Amino acid sequence: MQETQILSFTKSLPSSPSSSTTKPHFPTHPNHDFPSLSHPKSLRFPTLSTKTNTPINPTNTNTTSTSDFQEKLLYLDSIGIDFLTLIDDHPPVLSFPLAEIKSTVDFVASFGITAVEFRRIVGMCPEILASRVSEIVPIFTFLIREARVNGSDLRRVINRRPRLLACSVKNRLRPTLYFLQSIGIAEVNKHTNLLSSSVEEKLIPRIEYFEKIGFSRRDSVSMFRRFPQLFCYSVKENFEPKFDYFVVEMGRDLKELKEFPQYFSFSLEKRIKPRHQCCVEKGVCFPLPILLKTSNAKFWDRLDICCNASMPFERSPLWCTNCDIDLV
């Protein structure tokens, strides 16, 4: 359904640059629930200073007229977007045609994006309002046809990572997709937030860090393949402090990280340190998954059992030298 909608948008786009401002044909059903003007009486428009010594060229096509400025401000205010803040974050919007902005808003909203969601998207990716529909259609087409995203999931995908709408399919999205597939991540549609990442600047350096701290290339790639969220974490703010604590304070073996790379997804101050210190005080050592994944209630129950339960005699059938803590 969504792919058919995208194709209809594509066919309706102008074929020549001279007609680029022509609004493409959109579905006849309401596209969005954006509110009407909220503060029309308080709008004040800036005026040009009469004291400027710089002559103004009336034929300069890059100069936005006061009326155009006002119309653009009114329209964006009607959908809850502060135009002055927007142009401060992304100045090209100032000279972008209002007709194109409206077409882009309608197109994105046609995928079920609500007014609140759209404002959040613009806040995170203001470039979207200086992008033509003809530039955005290939991104949606790529997500559906190449990244295998279901049409019904497009809204969730865009809300999770608005930056996708400002990426080049050729220079960013497709190369990243190929890289993720090359290391064995088959279901990239479950990790679309990674597609906007640079392979050279973000993905590869993180794999190289794991090699630097002692993992083989094969093991490093295996960890990222099993837990792709590792690509989202900062080397300086996440990997380094957590790895140092793991080695110095916890005294654990790298093999445990290899088997449980999710270790890096837990808070060092709120989860890793408090639980490890409690175990040290009680003289207990849990495997990483039990130490970190279990809820607070289950963790304290397990700790209490291990501390208060007496060990069976060696002759007892309950005695064993390799007890599985998961059975406790």
How far apart, in Å, are the Cα atoms of 182 and each of 125, 178, 195, 224? Answer: 29, 6, 14, 12
Q: What is the pLDDT of residue 306?
A: 82
What CA–CA distance (Å, rounded) separates 114 from 34? Answer: 7
Contacts of 25 (CB under 8 A, 6+ apart): 8, 9, 12
- pLDDT of res. 34: 58
Buried b (16+ CB within 10 A) or exposed e, 193-206: bbbbbebeebbeeb
Work out the average pLDDT over 73-81. 92
**What is the b/e burial string over 8-37, where b = at least 16 CB atoms within 10 angstroms of the residue's CB?**
ebeeebeeeeeeeeeebebeeeebbebeee
**Prediction pTM value:** 0.74
Q: Is the pLDDT of residue 165 over 90?
A: yes
The arithmetic mean of pLDDT across residues 281-295, rounded, is 92
Phi, psi of 102 (to 5 degrees): -60, -40
* Residue of 129, 130, 118, 127 whose CA lies nearest to 158: 118
In this structure, of 81-85, 187-191, 310-314, 319-323, the range with the lowest mean pLDDT score is 319-323
Closest CA to 231 of 243, 241, 239, 242: 239
pLDDT bin (cut points 50, 70, 90) of residue 3 is: low
Q: Helices 66-78 and 98-109: crossing angle, nearest 10°? A: 10
What average pLDDT does this structure show over 90-102? 92
Average pLDDT of span 134-155: 95
For domain 66-167, give its CATH number from 3.90.1150.10, 3.40.50.10600, 1.25.70.10, 3.90.180.10.
Answer: 1.25.70.10
Is it the case that residue 1 has pLDDT exceeding 50? Answer: yes
What mean pLDDT is reported for the chain?
81
What is the secondary structure of 76-113 as a DSSP string? HHHTT--HHHHHHH-GGGGGS-HHHHHHHHHHHHTTT-
Q: What is the token pair recorded at 103? A: 């077409």
pLDDT attached to residue 11 = 52
In the predicted model, is pLDDT for residue 130 greater than 90? yes
Q: Is the pLDDT of residue 320 over 50?
A: no
- Confidence label for 102 from pLDDT (cuts 50, 70 and 90): very high
Question: What's the CA gap between 177 and 181, in Å, rounded?
Answer: 6
**Mean pLDDT lowest for which of 15-29, 58-72, 170-184?**
15-29
Domain map (residue ranges) of the chain = 66-167
**Average pLDDT over every residue of 56-83:** 75
What is the per-residue pLDDT for 83?
87
Q: How confident is the model at residue 4 (pLDDT cuts 50, 70, 90)?
A: low
Mean pLDDT, range 151-169, rounded to an integer: 95
Read off the pLDDT band of 52 (50, 70, 90): very low
pLDDT at res. 207: 97
Q: Tens of pLDDT along 19-46?
A: 343 333 434 344 455 543 333 333 343 4
User: Among 35-49, 54-68, 78-92, 117-131, whose mean pLDDT is lowest?
Assistant: 35-49
pLDDT level of residue 84 (50, 70, 90 thresholds): confident
